[in-house]
Amino acid sequence: MKKTFIISAMAIAALTACSVDESSVIGDGNTRTITFRGTAFPDTRTSIGSPENGSYPVLWTRGDQIGIYGMLGGFLNVPATLNDSDAGMNSGVFVLNTTEQTAAEAQDLIIYYPYNTATEYSEGALHSVIPQEQRQSVPGNSEHTGQYALAYAKTSIEAAGADGNNPPVEFSLTHAVAYVKFVVSSSQFSSLRLCGVSLYSKGAHISGDIMANVDDGTVTGIYQRDYATVIVDEPEALSSAQELWLVTVPCDLTGKETIVSVSMTDGTTNTTIPMKMNIGQLKANAVNTIEIEVSDADVATDFPWYETQDDRALAGGWAYGPENTYMVTESNPEITIDVRARGYYTGIEEPKYVAIMAGDMTYASQPCLEAENSTPGSYYIANNDSHISYSEIGAGYTVRVKAVAEKARQESFSGKIAIYNENHEALWAYLIWFTRDAYPVQEEQYRSGVVMDRYLGGMPPQIDNGSVFGALYQWGRPFAFPWATWINTSAPVRDLKTSATNQNVFFMSDNVENSNRDWWTGDATGARTDRKDDFWGNPNEGTGTGSSENGVKTVFDPCPEGWMVASPAIFKEVLAGKDADITAGSAMSWVTYRYSEEQTSYWALGGFKNGANGGNEGSRNVMLAVWSNSPYSGYDSTEHNAYDMYFDKRNEGTWNDNAGRAYGFSVRCMKVR
């Protein structure tokens, strides 16, 4: 027999009976009516009305779902859905229709909002996650916050009556999170469009795991992040004040250095302004208002090592320097790199030192690079500080790097340098790519774009030896790895700083919970939303395999100036027009594609690094493995992989177009359009 449980609810906070408190951190908190309604996540939505007498009434929205846990079993995180007729109301009826669940006897219930398969209840606490990156559709619209919130209630259900049905259950919600409303304005930047706002306070618990004790209301968390960012999907000009909404863990920032950064754009250049602010307490069960007048008046004084502008997409993150790869040649072996930070201020630090990480990633003993007049350096083991020779970075925050051409054993080589903070802790790394004058990088005009004639960090295709392959990359990371052994570890990567400060570490997915074969574990819930699809600027928002767009260059893109990671369109063009047979040389093999009557493009079988265990499995000259800039599918899919071009000549010429993002593949660059 199918059982029906009807649960009548008041979408309210216990502190105010029918509302969420208002806590004005800066300013008076005046607002207009807004709606929590997650467009990408339609099962996690709610609304907040205009404030009255210092409180915000909470309204239900069509599609809302609550989760239910029963203390005697029977209810194990089951969802109940709002009646459509109660959308927009302060009270509503949720209906659970099921053939599985029953309440034959009375029992206590834990009800929470929004429903999520990853939300757990144990030992008196609800366990959930507040993401570090949250997305808002347009300014003033807080539809997104419902999917990031956590509200709960303790109640009970009476035993089923003679008709087999249970009486309605009454409950009201207490919000375990803080709602932060940024009211952003700027006379200086009024012509720019507002892209996002981040909140950072070193050591604070602003996002990450959240465990809400349903008895006393205390909030704790095992994995804590000290920042969170809200990004606007459709930015609008700052000609008038705009409201952006962020969900955070409740925390007291009184007396702590807190930095709010505001990112804006003119459509070409991104301008991000960090500002020190006295925030105070971000209260649970409350709307906390922060008013911001954006100005760069204090940036040069407070952050002299910070650059406010960058032409690359920020992808919710940050970087040091305008590029991640720098090209040098025999005739121009020296380059000066601006190592100032740029992007959202969510964990960046002042760069104080530079050191050579690898003089030549192929031939570890070759001292092929020097930095800031240091002794030419070769390879060092990153976890052995005795091998590192640090040079101090000057007041201008630039680093001079020179390739020592006479030490190079091949026609091209790739080395790495890294920058460090005052405690010699790594901050970022750059690939230095040297090519002899006789073999300059060439442009190949495909139908789908202009493509580089070789892999990033590699030698020209006409060089028939085992050093042509270039650098390998985990999908979405800006840092290069050699084909041979490096530093491999199985560890979760749940924030951007972990990747940035461990740019010498190849993060394997084996034995990492909920990794789904990705080095980036995100919130580690196992859901498709754990993935960060915009790392390389081309999230797949269509229904096909691989994005149909070219994408944009981001601060995480590893290609040099003027270039970006190739799009799936390039790969599909090659696959459609490639020669039937593999071209074999004395030491190399290639997939070839005639992109014109007289020109042939070479794609070397460069091998890979296994994302599960870090091994290379003898894959050179056996497997072609190249990343595109796109995920294989979108967030509405259960597929977590990224789109690639993969060929294994051992298994009857097997072709594949997707792989786990933890794998180390080659990268082919295309011209930025």
Residues 287 and 418 occupy one common structural domain: no
Residues of the chain above pLDDT 90, percent: 62
Pair 548, 601 in one domain: yes
The answer to whether residue 387 sits within a structural domain is yes
Average pLDDT over every residue of 343-354: 95
If asked whether residues 330 and 375 sit together in one domain, one would say yes
Is 640 contained in some domain? yes
Strand partners, 207: 225
- How many structural domains are present in the chain? 3
Q: How confident is the model over 276-291, as a mean pLDDT? A: 90
Q: Report yes or no on 213 lying in a domain.
A: yes
Angle at 292 between CA 288 and CA 296, to 5 degrees: 150
| 432 shares a domain with 402 | yes
Distances (CA, A) of 26 to 123, 199, 264, 313, 365: 37, 14, 21, 30, 57
Give the model confidence (pLDDT) of 97-110 as tens digits: 655 455 567 888 99
The two counts, helices (H) then strands (E), for the chain are 3, 52
- Of 342, 338, 375, 378, which Cα lies nearest the Cα of 358? 378
Is 307 contained in some domain?
no
pLDDT attached to residue 412: 83
Boundary residue ending a domain (267, 302, 337): 302
Q: What distance in Å separates the CA atoms of residue 282 and residue 254, rounded to the nearest whole number?
A: 9
By C-alpha distance, which of 106, 67, 101, 104 is closest to 214?
Answer: 67
Q: Are 564 and 629 in contact (CB under 8 A)?
A: yes
Question: Residue 657: pLDDT band by 50, 70, 90 thresholds?
Answer: very high
Residue pLDDT, tens place only, 177-231: 999 999 999 999 999 999 999 999 999 999 999 999 999 999 998 899 999 999 9
Out of 412, 437, 462, pick the residue that ends a domain: 437
Residue among 29, 33, 27, 92 nearest 60 (CA): 92
User: Within this chain, do residues 424 and 505 fall inside the same structural domain, yes or no?
Assistant: no
How are strands ordered across the β-sheet holding 325-329? 325-329, 426-435, 412-420, 353-358, 391-392
pLDDT digits (tens, 9 = 90+) for 129-167: 999 999 999 999 887 888 899 999 898 888 766 666 667
For residue 555, being part of any structural domain is answered with yes
Q: What is the CATH number of the domain that holds 326?
A: 2.60.40
Give residue 90's domain range: 3-302
343 in the same domain as 297: no
Least confident range of 156-165, 443-452, 519-528, 622-631 = 156-165
Same domain, 275 and 365: no
Q: Are 424 and 480 contained in the same domain? A: no
Final residue before a domain boundary, out of 437, 456, 479: 437
Is the peptide bond preceding residue 114 cis, with omega within 30 degrees of 0? yes
Nearest to 136 by CA among 179, 88, 188: 179
What does the mean pLDDT of the chain come to? 85
Cβ atoms of residues 78 and 3 within 8 Å: no
496, 298, 307: which is closest to 397 by C-alpha? 307
pLDDT at 317 over 70: yes
Say yes or no to pLDDT of 477 above 70: yes
Q: What is the pLDDT of residue 475?
A: 98
Tokens of 458: 């590699």
Same domain, 56 and 171: yes
* Assessment of whether the complete model's pTM goes beyond 0.85: yes
pLDDT attached to residue 387 = 60
Based on the fold, state whether residues 77 and 203 are members of the same structural domain: yes
Both 465 and 543 in a single domain?
A: yes
Which distant-in-sequence residues (6+ apart) come within 8 Å of 665 by Cβ? 472, 473, 475, 608, 625, 626, 627, 644, 659
Listed residue (474, 357, 486) closest to 414, CA to CA: 357
Same domain for 464 and 602, yes or no, is: yes
